[in-house]
Amino acid sequence: MEFATHRNHCEVLPQTVAITGASGAVGRQVCLGLRAAGFNVRAIGRSPVGLDIADESVVAPLDDTRALATAMNGAAAVIHLAALLHINNPGSDIKEKYWQVNVAGSRHVCEAASECGVKRVILASTINVYGSAFQQGVVNESTAPCPIDWYSESKLAAEEVGLTFPNVTIWRLAAVLGRGLKGNYRTLLKLARYGVLPCIGDGSNRRTLIHAADLSRLMAADLRADPSTQRLWNVCDSTIYSLNEILASIREATGGRTKILHIPRHVTQGGLGMVEALFRAMRLKAPVGRWLVDKMCEDVAVDGSALWQELGMAPAVSLVDGWRDAAGELNLIETLESARHCQRAA
């Protein structure tokens, strides 16, 4: 796959950028970053709660194309972040919800943007769409997706919908680090409070991340630049980290006193198997299970260099500063200086 480099930058910023999912963890940080970059930000959400982060706010559910079109009226660009996110070990009722929110919702957003003449749409997807392709090594935009769960299947289907509209660009996001951190990384960071960071296996498996401030910088630069002919981007920072490196950076970010405890994979699987058996005996769904071992030990290595090169940029927030930012939001440490650094980066 060939990529153009260093697109020309437009002299005039888009007047208004409408953002769906603005009240979410990533959405709030993107709103702040784009406002700091000089954009007028209009937050779109299914309820007014949390939309005060933007210059303007409009309530419009994803299943109402007419309401979405009204909310987007006059916007020069739309960033579609609203989604039903990954759920560990989901129940059978979740699949339909994924398709309603992630696929049908994306279609409604794209239709609404097209209806009211929005020139640029960034549709946020996920690197999880690569799925079993991660077993091949480092993936890039030319790697064929091979999703392995309902979440990533729904996001790939949403991409296919988006690409039927000429003004839509797909951004496959890595895990976004920073304030409002969610999921397994939030759990891992909170464990630092107790002085121990567990690592299943030897920690050599790889991970790909991006800080919210760097994500906002990329979005601001992309919206300033002329549209690219490339319509699909991996979005992460320029380094692929081992889990050991991530744990070491958490330890440094939280004061350096946390111990990293490596637990053999087979020991963890055995223990979690006993937990599953116990919950089955009680006819309950176990909150954790052997699936967690596979999740923690998976190799997720993504080359996200193309977009940085295209825009002539480089990441500004270090991994340690990113963890400090997230840890401060969780009241694990005092992060005034780190927060200032991330704010300057945005």
Residues in the chain with pLDDT values less than 50: 1-6, 9-12, 335-337
Q: Strands 241-242, 206-207: parallel, antiparallel or unpaired by DSSP?
A: antiparallel
| pLDDT for res 7 | 53
| pLDDT for res 12 | 45
| pLDDT for res 343 | 56
3-state secondary structure the chain: CCCCCCCCECCCCCCEEEEECCCCHHHHHHHHHHHHCCCEEEEEECCCCCHHHCCEEEECCCCCHHHHHHHHCCCCEEEECCCCCCCCCCCCCHHHHHHHHHHHHHHHHHHHHHHCCCCEEEEEEEHHHHHHHHHHCCECCCCCCCCCCHHHHHHHHHHHHHCCCCCEEEEEECEEECCCCCHHHHHHHHHHHHCEEEEECCCCCEECEEEHHHHHHHHHHHHHECCCCCCEEEECCCCCEEHHHHHHHHHHHCCCCCEEEEECHHHHHHHHHHHHHHHHHCCCCCCCCCHHHHHHHCCCCECCHHHHHHHCCCCCCCHHHHHHHHHHHCCCCCCHHHHHHHHHHC
Q: Are 110 and 161 in contact (CB under 8 A)?
A: yes
The C-alpha torsion from 72 through 74 and 76 to 80, rounded to 10°, is -10
Provide the whole-model pTM.
0.90
Residues 6 or more apart whose CB falls under 8 angstroms from that of 67 comprise 59, 60, 61
Domain boundaries, the chain: 16-249+294-345
Cα separation of 35 and 41, whole Å?
6
| pLDDT for res 308 | 97
Second-level CATH architecture of 16-249+294-345: 3-Layer(aba) Sandwich (3.40)
Rounded alpha-carbon distances, angstroms, from residue 211 to 167, 189, 276, 323: 26, 15, 35, 9
Closest CA to 307 of 184, 172, 213, 196: 172
| pLDDT for res 187 | 85
User: What is the residue whose two structure tokens read 């704010």?
Assistant: 343
| pLDDT for res 336 | 44
The count of other CB atoms within 10 Å of the CB of residue 290 is: 16
